[in-house]
Amino acid sequence: MKKSMNDRSMKKRTVWLILGGIAVIVCVLWWAYIQFWSNASEKEDVSAKREADWSFQKPKVPETKLTDQEECALCGSRKESMTGMFSGKDAIGIISVNDWYIMDLKIKSGNEKGNMPEDTEGKNTTRTTVGKNGRVLERSSESLRGISEIVVDYGEDRVLSMEKASQILCQSCLEKLSEAMEVKCEEGKEPEPVDLVLIDFETMELYCVQEQYTKKSIRDYTLWMAHTEDTLEINAVYTPVRTEAGKNAASLK
């Protein structure tokens, strides 16, 4: 009889131990669940706050140092600006602003009569070092096919200096440059855009190439952009509206 009572007592203790263990496990799991969602909520709040602390901003426009608008490197006839070589041309270029170097992407070529020069057949590659801070521009173009690729290695002097720009641009062009340099920036800090900008030589309009842009359409040209910490790669294609078979090829001539 005593043995039977001991067995029942042991079974009861075992049952209570099991139930107690289950209760502990449930409590631990519930605590972990609450902690998980609490931490997730905190992370979302922090992330949202950080996102709210950033916005797209344009660099401040300083007063131009020029006294004569004709000395403007963009809209004037400044001797060393190179703009006059390209102004009015049906082409797209890129400007390295701090050193004021202009490169035609050579997406398609043609002389004033609209004929293709003989030397545009095949791929033409040009590599140019700009300034003294390691900026390198490498262009590979196949003008007969209407395609071009340019890779810019930023070098050390990559942040736009509006102060330098104010020494060679008129007030109107400084404002135009600022509009094309919008970049994501933390609130309370000065924006630091890379000193590169696209230019449509036909209209002389400027276009942004900061990291928020991966594709840009300019008239009959489509450009795709890839950004890394140290480089900008642009693949450009001449893409006119196709109205009938063969018209694309004819329009390149």
Domain carrying residue 195: 56-251
Do 104 and 116 lie in one domain? The reply is yes
Higher per-residue pLDDT: 145 or 188: 145
How many domains is the chain partitioned into structurally? 2
Do 21 and 105 lie in one domain? The reply is no
Rounded Cα distance, 75 and 88, in Å: 12
Compute the half-sphere exposure of residue 117: CA atoms within 13 Å on the CB side of its CA.
11
Do 166 and 198 lie in one domain? The reply is yes
Do 23 and 100 lie in one domain? The reply is no
Do 119 and 186 lie in one domain? The reply is yes
Structure token pair of residue 44: 């979302």
123-141 confidence digits (pLDDT tens)? 899 999 998 888 999 999 9
Do 109 and 183 lie in one domain? The reply is yes
Strand order in the sheet with 101-104: 101-104, 92-96, 196-200, 205-208
Burial 231-250 (b: 16+ CB within 10 A, else e): ebebbbbbeeeeeeeeeeee
- The pLDDT assigned to 30 comes to 84
CB 218 within 8 A of CB 189: no
Do 82 and 23 lie in one domain? The reply is no
Do 228 and 196 lie in one domain? The reply is yes
The answer to whether residue 229 scores a pLDDT higher than 80 is yes
Do 167 and 71 lie in one domain? The reply is yes
Do 75 and 193 lie in one domain? The reply is yes
Do 83 and 129 lie in one domain? The reply is yes
Do 69 and 32 lie in one domain? The reply is no
12-47 confidence digits (pLDDT tens)? 677 777 877 788 888 888 888 888 777 665 655 544
Q: Across residues 236-242, what is the average pLDDT?
A: 91
The answer to whether residue 208 scores a pLDDT higher than 90 is yes
Output the average pLDDT for the chain: 84
- The pLDDT assigned to 168 comes to 95
The answer to whether residue 114 scores a pLDDT higher than 50 is no
Q: Across residues 108-128, what is the average pLDDT?
A: 65
Rounded Cα distance, 102 and 220, in Å: 21
Q: Given pLDDT bands bounded at 50, 70 and 90, which one contains residue 60?
A: very high
